[in-house]
A and B are shown apart, each in its own frame.
Chain A
Amino acid sequence: MLRYTWKRILTGILSLFVLVTVTFFLVRLIPGSPFRQGGVSEQVVETIEQEYGLNEPVLTQYFSYIGNVLRGDLGVSYQDPATRVTEIIARAWPVTASIGITALAVSVLLGTGLGILRAVTKRRFVRELISAGGMLAAGIPGFAAAILLLLVFSVKLKWLPASGLLSPAHYILPVTALSLYPAAMIARLVGNTLDSELQKDYVLFARAKGIGKWQIIFTHALKNAYLPVLNYIGPASASLLTGSFVIESIFTIPGLGREFVGSITNRDYTLILGLTVFMGAVVIIVNLLTDLLCAWLDPQTRRAYKKAGDSAK
Chain B
Amino acid sequence: MLRRIRQHWKNYIGNSRMALIGCTILGIWIVLAVAVPLFGPWSYSEQNAEIRNQGASLLHWFGTDRFGRDLFTRVWYGAGISLAVGIFSTLINGIIGVLYGAVSGYAGGRTDMALMRIADIIYAIPSMLYVILITLVMGAGVGSMILGLCVAGWISMARIARGEIIKLKETEYAYAARMEGISPLRILLKHLLPNAAGTIVVNMIFLVPQAIFTEAFLSFLGVGIAAPAASLGTIIQEARSQMMLYPYQMIFPLIVLCVMLLALNMAGTAVEQRVGQHSGKGTGNR
Contacts and interface: CB of A to CB of B under 8 A. Distances in A.
Interface string B216-227: 110011110000
Interface stretch (B60-68, B132-140, B175-183): B132-140
A141 B134 contact: no
A14 B121 contact: yes
Interface of B: 112-113, 116-117, 120-122, 124-126, 128-130, 132-134, 136-137, 139, 209, 213, 216-217, 220-223, 236, 240, 243-244, 247, 250-251, 254, 257-258, 261-262, 264-266, 269, 282, 284-286
Given A138-B265, A143-B216, A280-B126, 8 more contacts: A18-B125, A30-B133, A30-B136, A135-B262, A139-B261, A141-B217, A279-B126, A312-B112
Interface stretch (A64-72, A101-109, A168-176, A237-245): A237-245
Contacts of B113: 312
Interface of chain B, main secondary structure: helix
Contact of A283 (B126, B240, B247): B126
A87 to B, nearest CB: 22
B243 to A, nearest CB: 7
B181 to A, nearest CB: 28
Contacts of B133: 22-23, 26-27, 30, 272, 276
Given A18-B121, A144-B258, A151-B243, A264 B126 contact: no
B254 A148 contact: yes
B221 A245 contact: yes
Interface string A256-297: 000001001100000010001001100110010000000000
A148 B113 CA distance: 46
Nearest to B209: A139
B105 to A, nearest CB: 10
A139 B265 contact: yes
Q: Name the interface size band of chain A.
A: 35 or more
Nearest to B117: A11
Contacts of B264: 139
A151 B247 contact: yes
A279 B132 CA distance: 13
B124 A15 contact: yes
Nearest to A28: B137
A238 B217 contact: no
Contacts of B251: 151
A264 B136 contact: yes
Contacts of A140: 258, 261-262
21 contacts: A15-B121, A15-B125, A23-B129, A136-B262, A140-B261, A141-B213, A141-B261, A147-B240, A192-B282, A196-B282, A242-B126, A242-B128, A245-B128, A246-B217, A249-B221, A265-B222, A272-B133, A283-B124, A287-B124, A313-B116, A313-B120
Contacts of B121: 11, 14-15, 18
Nearest to B216: A141
Contacts of A141: 213, 216-217, 257-258, 261
A232 B286 CA distance: 9
Contacts of B240: 147
A75 to B, nearest CB: 17
Contacts, number: 125
B262 A139 contact: yes
Contacts of B220: 143, 246
A310 B121 CA distance: 18
Most interface-central of B116, B217, B247 (chain A CB within 10 A): B217
Contacts of A15: 120-121, 124-125
Nearest to A283: B126
A185 B236 CA distance: 26
A140 B255 CA distance: 9
Most interface-central of B125, B137, B247 (chain A CB within 10 A): B125
Contacts of B134: 26
A189 B269 CA distance: 14
A12 interface: yes
A198 interface: no
Interface string A1-19: 0000000000110110011
B246 to A, nearest CB: 12
A21 to B, nearest CB: 11
A228 interface: yes
Interface in A199-247: 228, 231-232, 238, 241-242, 245-246
B193 to A, nearest CB: 21
A156 to B, nearest CB: 9
Most interface-central of A31, A141, A238, A265 (chain B CB within 10 A): A141
Contacts of A148: 254
A29 interface: yes
